[in-house]
Amino acid sequence: MKHVFLLIVVALSTITMSAQSRALKKAQAESPLAYALFNSEGEPVSWAEFVDDAAQADVVCFGELHDDAIMHWLQAELVRDLVAAGKSPTLGAEMLEADDQLVVNEHLEGWVNEDKLKAAANLWPNHFTDYQPLLELAAENGLPFIATNVPRRYASYVYKNGLDALGDLSDEAKTYLPSLPVPFDINLPGYQAMMAMGGGHGGETLPMAQAIKDATMAHFILANLPKKSPFVHFNGAYHSQDHEGIVWYLHNAKPKLKVLTLHGHLQADVTAPEDEVIGKGDYLLITHERMTRTH
């Protein structure tokens, strides 16, 4: 009887997912869809399911495409929904560098305005359209916002000299880095793909420069983990796809950490993820490729 019951559950689940897929395709035919959300296997899921799962995670890596307006909107919605659910997430982002933490804190406290923030911090060109709303949400809700990325000058230094050269930096510089030596696995598929895309230029120091970013972001996430709430981290999709990059460093330090990943991807048809995207994240966020870019 137990096996029969399980077969019935699986069958009903399959029927439900098939019905959801048909509903998506019908909606796409009747009216343009800006985005759709799927699980790792490519089955449609609701936003509420993702938020519930995120609320139970230790870390959520929201893997965005940097110029995607829908993804930026949903990042803010995730924070709002977690707060509404009684959580107090700590926020963090690749787009802010560790040595800008002081001025970020001063901005959150309200006595450094946007102009002074722009003058003092290494902000991305699209900061005020895409990431400033997240800082404002943090300020409104009393949430910490961590500048997690390595200062770009040190990533450049690694590209030129390799990871071992970080040991030559001053003690003050090392406060913006993870503990040395930094673990590095050149055989990870993501780093191998980076070397292939580089056409041999840069050799192993190209993925090393990526690795110091991944390792530093993981380091500052772990150093600022909240209790009973997730750390929600905003990063480019490449930094967390396939549970590599940041996630590899998180699990290298804390194997039992519950890390949830969302992987963003562009398609002309959002009703089903393309085969190449399946398994890239625990959740797959597919947005329409004709959506207006933010920069």
Q: What is the pTM of this model?
A: 0.90
pLDDT at 1: 53
**High-pLDDT (> 90) share of the chain, %:** 85
pLDDT at 248: 98
pLDDT at 126: 96
Identify which has the larger pLDDT, 41 or 196.
Answer: 41
Q: Tens digits of per-residue pLDDT, 88-130?
A: 999 999 999 999 999 999 999 999 999 999 999 999 999 999 9
pLDDT at 196: 87
The structural domains of the chain, ordered by start, are 33-288 (3.40.50.11550)
Query: Does 15 score more than 60 pLDDT?
Result: no
Whether the CB-CB separation of 26 and 198 falls below 8 Å is answered with no
Query: What's the DSSP call for residue 68?
Result: B
Residue 163: pLDDT band by 50, 70, 90 thresholds?
very high
pLDDT at 31: 79
- Measured distance CA(34)–CA(291) in Å, rounded: 7
Name the pairing type of β-strands 283-288 and 35-39: antiparallel
CA 185, distance to chain mean position in Å, is 21
Query: Does 150 score more than 90 pLDDT?
Result: yes
- Measured distance CA(230)–CA(90) in Å, rounded: 7
* DSSP per-residue letters across 139-202: HHHT--EEEEEPPHHHHHHHHHH-GGGGGGS-HHHHTTSPSSSPP--TTSHHHHHHHHHTTTTT
Q: Tens digits of per-residue pLDDT, 203-244?
A: 899 999 999 999 999 999 999 999 999 999 999 999 999 999
State the DSSP H helix or E strand holding residue 275, giving kind and residue range, or none if neither.
none
